[in-house]
Every structure is written in structure tokens, then in C-alpha cells.
Amino acid sequence: MTWVLILLIAAAVFAILAFVLRIPRAGWEIAGAALLFGVAGYALQGHPGYAGSPKQAVETDKTADAALLKQRQEMGDAFGKGATWLTLADALSRQGQFRAAADVLKTAVEKNPEDADLWVAYGNALVGHSDGLITPAAQFAFQKAAQIAPDHPGPPFFMGLALAQSGKLADARAIWAELLRRSPADAPYRADLESRLARLDQMLAASGQAMPPPAAPAPEASTSAR
């Protein structure tokens, strides 16, 4: 009976992805494969006959990943149209399946090469697949997103995050300082960015690395001659 319920749930999830969220037909096979992979994993490791053993919830890496996904979604509301692709890729990323998410997003950017949000998500998936380290492919994805939408805060934010995770603290700080300089005072991500910059400064000071020069102030509006 348990397996019948599991298969019904998997079928329902696929139906929602295909007919409610309307993911492109090209993504049906990937979505189906991801669901079957999950069912197969449960078949190998699951024990539905065992009694439950609830434990107190603790913060995990996946929880942190979910927070970053939300950050990317909030930053990219006005920059992309690939919501169906992002929904599937985010679901895979939340489960730690970064390789599958990157494969989905590779197809997405091939079909929608001018969607900055898809390129940002693709870069994030590649960074996740490399255990948090930035790769040339991920760097290209962030740079491509920045070229498409220069005002998009996502590319420099996540590029800086990947650089920081890779130990390139000074490079990360330079990128984040420039993003902060050009960010509106009421930007929803500004407080988080300031906090991250402060932690980077502490890490740079502790490591004895030279602080990069501060970013040039934003140009003031010219005043008319009196």
C-alpha cells in the first residue's frame, strides 16, 4: 500500500509540473527522471515499516540553500521570464541535486539566451555542483547575466558569494562594495549585503590580507551655473 501511495504522489507531482506550472515539453523527461530517481533512492534506503523517530529541527546546509534561493528570486523579479524552468531547477537544488539543476538550466539558457535570471541560476547551480567553488563556467554565467541586465543585483551578489567561498576574499569584497555603492537606499537586500561586507572585512583583517581600495562614490547630479 505504501508503494502505491508513493507512486500516486510522484504522478501527481509530475502532473502539476506539466499541466499546472506548464514546464516546457523539453523538460518533461528531466522532471520524470528526477522523480523516478527520488523513488528509486527511497526504494534503496527507505524503511516505511519502521516506526517514526521525530527529532528537533536543526539548521542545515539545505536550509541555507533555500534562503539563498529566496534571495535570488527577490533580486530577479523584474529581470526574467523563465519561471517554469526556475521552479524545476530550484526544486532540484533544494534536494542537493545541483548537477541535475545545472542540466535543466543549461537547456533553459540555450532556449532563452537573453534571460538574466536563468543565467544567474545556472551559475549558482554550477557553483553548488562544485561544492561552493567558482568555476570558469560559473563565472561565465554570472558575467553573461551582468551583460544582459547591468542593473540586476543578482550577478555581482552571487559572483561575490562564490568568490568568497573560494577564498578570494579581496575580489569578493571589491565586487560587493561596488554593488553596495550603486544599490538604492531602500533595496531589500542592502542590509544583508552590508552585513556580509562587514564579515568579509573582519576575515580580511584577521588573515592579514591587504584591503582593496574603496569604491569611488556615486557621481552627484550636476547643478546649473548661477
Question: pLDDT of 159-214, one tens digit each?
Answer: 999 999 998 999 999 999 999 999 999 999 899 999 999 999 999 888 776 555 55
11 in a structural domain: no
Which grid cell sits at 221? 547630479
81 in a structural domain: yes
42 in a structural domain: no
Residue 155: what pLDDT? 93
Q: Note down the domain range covering 93.
A: 62-207
102 in a structural domain: yes
Give the model's confidence band at 3: pLDDT under 50 very low, under 70 low, under 90 confident, else very high: low
- For 70, residues 6+ apart whose C-beta sits below 8 A from its C-beta are none
What is the domain-level CATH number for residue 150?
1.25.40.10
- Helices assigned H by DSSP within the chain: 2-15, 28-45, 61-75, 83-94, 98-111, 116-129, 136-148, 154-165, 169-182, 190-207
Which grid cell sits at 96? 542537493
Domain count, the chain: 1
Residue 43: what pLDDT? 55
Write the secondary structure of 75-134 as one string of H (helix), E (strand) and C (coil): HCCCCCCCHHHHHHHHHHHHCCCHHHHHHHHHHHHHHCCCCHHHHHHHHHHHHHHCCCCC
3-class secondary structure, 210: coil
Question: pLDDT of 71-125, one tens digit each?
Answer: 555 554 544 566 788 888 888 888 888 999 899 899 999 989 999 999 999 999 9
Report the chain's C-alpha Rg in angstroms: 21
3-class secondary structure, 162: helix
7 in a structural domain: no
36 in a structural domain: no
Residue 38: what pLDDT? 59
Question: pLDDT of 144-153, one tens digit each?
Answer: 999 999 999 9
Minimum mean pLDDT among 30-34, 48-52, 109-113, 172-176: which range? 48-52
226 in a structural domain: no
24 in a structural domain: no
